[in-house]
Amino acid sequence: MASTTSIISGLSHHYVRKSNSSLHDISSQDSQKSPRTSTRLECKPRMVINKMILNNFKSYFGEQEIGPFHKSFSAIVGPNGSGKSNVIDALLFVFGYRANKMRQARLSELIHSSQGCENLDSCTVEIHFEEIIDLYGSDDFEVVPHSQLVISRQAYRNNTNKYFINGQQSNYTEVTNLLKGRGVDLDHKRFLILQGEVESISLMKPKAPNEHEDGLLEYLEDIIGTSKYKVPIEEASEKLENLNEERSEKLNRTKIVEKEKQSLEAKKKEAEDYMRDENSLALKKSIICQKHLLKCKNSIDISTREVNQLRAELREEEEKHAQIKQDNKDLEDKYGESVEAYQELEKETNEILKELASYEKENINLGERKKHAISKRKKMMEAISTDRHNFSEAKTAIKFNEQDLVDQMEVMTRLERSLGAQEIELEAIRESLKGKTEVYSIQIEEKQRELSPWSEKINAKQSAIDVAQSEYNFLKEKIDSTRKDLEQAEETIASLQETHRTKEQEILSSKNRINATKREIQQIDTKLKNYHRHQENLRSNLADARQRKDEAKGLLQSFQSRDIILNSLMKLKNSGRINGLHDRLGSLGVIDDKYDVAISTACPALNDIVVDTVEVGQTCIDYLRKNTLGRAKFILLDKLPVMNMHPIPTPDNVPRLFDLVRPKEDRFAPAFYSVLQNTLVAENLQQANKIAFGKTRWRVVTLNGQLIDKSGTMSGGGGKGIKGAMNSKFSSDVTPETVEKLEQERNHLEEQWKKFNEEFRSLESQLQEKKNELPSLELELSKLEMDSNTCVKRISDTEKRISDLRQQNKPNVEDVRRMEQLRTQIDSLTQELERLKRQSSKIEEEIKSLQDKILEVGGDRLRAQKSKVDQIKEQIVITNERITKSQVAKSKAEKDITKFENSLSKNKKELEELDNEIKELTEEIQQNAEAAHSIRARADETKSILEDKKSELDEIKEKLDEKTEIINRIRAFELEIKNKLEDSERSLLEHKNTEDKWKNALCDLSLHNISDDEEQDEFQLYTDDELDAMSENTILGEINVLEERIKNANPNLSVLNEYRKREKEYMLRAKDLEEITTKCDECKNEYDSLRKQRLEEFMQGFTIISQKLKEMYQMITLGGNAELECCDSLDPFSEGIIFSVMPPKKSWKNISNLSGGEKTLSSLALVFALHHYKPTPLYVMDEIDAALDFRNVSIVANYIKERTKNAQFVVISLRNNMFELADRLIGIYKTYDKTKSITINPHEIEAQSFLES
């Protein structure tokens, strides 16, 4: 104890921190092991405890962290009373144990309560788990990512508690299930070995004395897992016992009923014998009735055959005539309906075509109107474009003239400045010459003052002339423009009149073509009606010729298609070398084509050859053998037995194949019956199955060739059936020449028919072509008329426009008057201008003469300067003229803008009206086109239907012609057949009345149901041959004997009912007994199976644990031995298990007789053996070494250290031999009545000591 405490206190300040601090040095070493020097073990991840955090739990105050624990071997050390065992209590608390398991009465007592900390509300314990993977060759490991798990439990003062998993509230069930799923054995608590509990294993009895205690057997069964079988075995045993009791009861009841049944046997036998005599009598009477019925039947068959034959002949004639007539009437009705439908459809088609033509005509009219509107719009667009261009040019002219005015004004300003400067310089020159030129200068100034008024007048007159001339030109241009429009309109009307004349000529030509086409249609239609009448006769003749040729050719081919053997024999017969040879059987009779497939499938013997005698057959065989022609089968008429071939009653009255065959001669009928027998014909397979598998088995064949034999086997069907073994008509003497002649007749008629059809189709094609052409011609005429009407309208519009233009071309009085005024004004102003110029010219000449003189005086310098001044003045004049011209042009452009704006507004309005008109016309055209498209589709559809109706009509007509040819048959012998039929029916009725009397007698007979055990007597329907073989007298004698015996007997028949009741009751009892016996056997098997499975699984685990126990004990004790033994070697569950131990150098002893240390070692050996068998990831041991000596403690500690690498051991120990081998030491100590913990790593201490030394 002292050594432990000193170790903890001496190293705490170097290597450990208190539990409420983070252990960076240890946790980082444990959880962040480097994998670079190790590799993974080939093992599964296992769960370990990383650390525990206790908060106010028992002696731990506040939050105390215990750990981190080592992955394999951690030791908890500390003085007594320090709180080591509270660590285990904390584990138990989290694992869901009650407070009493933690040495407390209530959960609230687990809350820490030391001096000064008496009123804490709760305590909490957190256990931090994680899954690791061990690394090979070291203590390193890898933590499985995301495997960390924190389970906590919190207890409160009110004795309630809560569970948490990773911070989320949970409950006890989820926590325990989670821990069990991770491998913690909470059920058997093998993970926990408390102080003193190691020896408790040694105190276990071999088997628990009662269900509330545990013995060694129960302990091992829980671990091995066979305890799960105990409840099912007990339930199965109880169930088996109950079933055995029930079986005994049912067995006794069955025996009682059996005795009662046996007591009635004698009386029952007497009554049954009496009933058997009555049954025999009824059976004999049945034979007598059947013999009389056979006689009636033979007579009825003969009469029925005569009646049926006569009826068939009469019905055949009547049906043939009636059916053909009805078919013909139906065809006539159908043809009439088709003609009406065709005419109605043709009428509807014509109406649709007329409607379509109306729409197309309207569409053309709208198109012409739209075309005219588009043309007007185009002209209007051109006018608008011209107006816009002129308007743009006017605006450009205004801008240009405004800019030119600005530019010229600037030029004028510059010129005036320049003129002023030059005049100053000129004046300076003149001033220098003043003495010489002063006289001239004064004169010039006087003259200039005299000229100045004249110059102003001249400039004013010139400006007035320019303005008047501009206005005059505008008015003149306006008048010229109207004249041009008039000339253009006159040219347009001339062109339209020419076009109208052309259209009128085309209209006349189109009307002529339409009239000619209508006449051609009428002519072709008349021809077609004549062709229709001729077509009927020609079709009828051709159909007759085809039928005659096909029938003759078919018969000839049938005759020629016989095989080589038959042909050879027939040649032999025809040469007269053999007599008595007839033909193949199928050629000696006929059958309706409806039954061709059925008889060809059901009777392969139709290809057998029929001969009269054996000798003829042998002659044929010899001939075939001699000439190696092959083999053949023969039917010998003289060897056929006499058979009853009369009609027989059949199920559902289906026909018999033999009755459907009409032999060529009556003597061939037995040959057909010998191969067909009573084979029946069914409509389909369903009916065939019903008949074939009824009370009486029949051989049945369907119309499709599916054959069911009496044995039940089915054949035939599937693909295309066998056919052609029999024909519907006898082959007559048809020669190839006859067929060739008939074929020539048919070819000739077909050639005529082909030529006729070509001409007919040609006429129909021409008629259709003309009919199709007519709407196009009418449409073309409509278009031409519309074009003509459009031309008339356009001519009218153009004439109106010419009239308007002529009105516009007439000069406006105001404009003419104004132009005359302007012309007069311009002439007057021009004259005044000339007059002013003439008046001022003298003064200008005088000024010029004076200036010349001054220039002569001034010399070149003055002249040059004078020239400059004159040039500037001249430029000023030119500039003034340009300014005047620009002003006039601007004024004119402003007037043009107003004019073009008005024109543009008017034209735009007209253009908008035209656009609206074009839009409306376009919409109307679109709507009209859509309607026309719909009508055109209807027209196409009706045309197609009309063509189909025409083809259908032709086909019906052709069939009608064929039917009409067959109607004219005469039935002169119908009355004679009817008379014969009446006589035969009268005779048949008499025979049937006699038959009914015997049938009633037969129906009155009945049979007794004597016993279910013996075969029931049944009335047998005998065949005709069997009845003929029976002697009627003998049977009557037997009847007399039976009647006498029955008369003398006196049985008790009521005993039979009583016996049947007892027998029925006995069978029910026997059935119940058998059922309960079966249940007992099944339950017994289940019980034995469970016991066997429990024993095998237990012994398998028991053997492994016992072997490992021996190894563990030998290893721990260094030479001892231990083993587990079954008290009863045959049944270990009866007496339990004995734990026997032989300590070293001692004898075998029961574990209960060992010393304390020996018991501990033995129990630990068993614990380690169980760990090997069923490992648990966690073991917590509380001072298990207390009773061991130094050597044994070392052995156990070294085992835990070296051998238990696959589990985590947390050992509370005070023995240094134990904790010094631990990989991690958790020190527990208490100060001020509060427990704390510190954790150290011995390997780190050792390494540190090594470094310090």
Residue-wise pLDDT tens digits, 144-188 = 888 889 999 999 989 899 999 998 999 988 888 888 888 777 766
Do 53 and 21 contact (CB within 8 A), yes or no?
Answer: no
| pLDDT range class, residue 41, cuts 50, 70, 90 | very low
| pLDDT range class, residue 409, cuts 50, 70, 90 | confident
Do 1231 and 5 contact (CB within 8 A), yes or no?
Answer: no
| pLDDT range class, residue 258, cuts 50, 70, 90 | confident
| Mean pLDDT on 214-234 | 82
**Which range has highest mean pLDDT (378-392, 848-862, 1124-1138)?**
1124-1138
Per DSSP bridges, beta strands 73-77 and 1208-1212 are parallel
The number of angstroms, rounded, from the C-alpha of 1064 to the middle of its chain's C-alpha atoms is 61
| Mean pLDDT on 841-846 | 76
CA distance 951 to 948: 5
- Least confident window among 458-472, 477-491, 773-787, 1231-1245: 477-491
**Structural Rg of the chain based on CA atoms:** 70
Residue ranges of domains in the chain: 592-725
- pLDDT of 39 reads 42
pLDDT digits (tens, 9 = 90+) for 1060-1096: 787 788 888 888 888 888 888 888 898 888 888 888 8
- pLDDT of 17 reads 35
Distances (CA, A) of 976 to 307, 968, 971, 972: 13, 20, 10, 8
CA distance 79 to 571: 136
pLDDT digits (tens, 9 = 90+) for 739-772: 677 777 777 777 777 777 777 777 777 777 777 7
Q: Is the pLDDT of residue 37 over 50?
A: no
Q: Is the pLDDT of residue 25 over 50?
A: no
- pLDDT of 23 reads 35
| Mean pLDDT on 436-459 | 72
pLDDT digits (tens, 9 = 90+) for 690-738: 888 877 888 998 888 888 887 666 776 555 456 667 776 665 545 666 6
If one compares 15 and 1042, the residue with the highest pLDDT of the two is: 1042
| Mean pLDDT on 1153-1157 | 76
If one compares 619 and 493, the residue with the highest pLDDT of the two is: 619
Q: Would residue 379 be called left, alpha or beta, if left means φ above 0 and alpha means ψ between -120 and 50 degrees?
A: alpha
| pLDDT range class, residue 6, cuts 50, 70, 90 | very low
- pLDDT of 969 reads 44
CA distance 1166 to 1171: 8
| Mean pLDDT on 1107-1134 | 84
If one compares 551 and 1074, the residue with the highest pLDDT of the two is: 1074
Which residues are CB-contacts of 602 (< 8 A; sequence separation ≥ 6)? 657, 676, 679, 699, 701, 707
- Least confident window among 150-154, 651-655, 787-791, 1144-1148: 787-791
If one compares 555 and 526, the residue with the highest pLDDT of the two is: 526
- pLDDT of 5 reads 39
- pLDDT of 1226 reads 92
From the candidate CATH numbers 2.30.36.70, 2.40.50.140, 3.30.70.1620, 3.40.50.300, the one assigned to the domain spanning 592-725: 3.30.70.1620
Q: Is the pLDDT of residue 1005 over 70?
A: yes
Q: Is the pLDDT of residue 309 over 50?
A: yes
**Which pair of tokens denotes residue 1203?**
């051998």
CA distance 1065 to 1184: 74
| Mean pLDDT on 106-135 | 88
- pLDDT of 125 reads 94
Long-range Cβ contacts of 1115-1122 (<8 Å, 24+ apart)? 1115/1195, 1115/1199, 1116/1161, 1116/1164, 1116/1165, 1116/1192, 1116/1195, 1116/1196, 1116/1199, 1117/1143, 1117/1144, 1117/1161, 1117/1192, 1117/1195, 1118/1144, 1118/1195, 1119/1144, 1119/1145, 1120/1144, 1120/1146, 1121/1148, 1122/1162, 1122/1165, 1122/1166
| pLDDT range class, residue 34, cuts 50, 70, 90 | very low
Burial 362-399 (b: 16+ CB within 10 A, else e): bbbbbbbbbebbeebbeebeebbeebeebbeebeebbe
Q: Is the pLDDT of residue 613 over 80?
A: yes
| Residue with tokens 């890898």, as numbered in its chain | 142
If one compares 935 and 1015, the residue with the highest pLDDT of the two is: 935
- Rounded to two decimals, the pTM is 0.39
- pLDDT of 51 reads 92
Do 1188 and 1160 contact (CB within 8 A), yes or no?
Answer: yes
Torsion, CA 102, CA 103, CA 105, CA 110, rounded to 10: -60
**Which range has highest mean pLDDT (75-89, 257-271, 282-296, 340-354)?**
75-89
If one compares 397 and 1085, the residue with the highest pLDDT of the two is: 1085
| Mean pLDDT on 492-498 | 79
Task: Provide the β-strand partners of residue 123.
Answer: 155
Residue 441 exposure: Cα atoms within 13 Å on the Cβ side: 15
Do 271 and 1104 contact (CB within 8 A), yes or no?
Answer: no
Q: Is the pLDDT of residue 53 over 90?
A: yes
Closest by CA to 1137, choosing from 1092, 1090, 1099, is 1099
| pLDDT range class, residue 126, cuts 50, 70, 90 | very high
Q: What's the mean pLDDT when you consider all of the chain? A: 77
Return the H-helix or E-strand segment holding 175: helix 172-181
pLDDT > 90: percent of the chain:
4
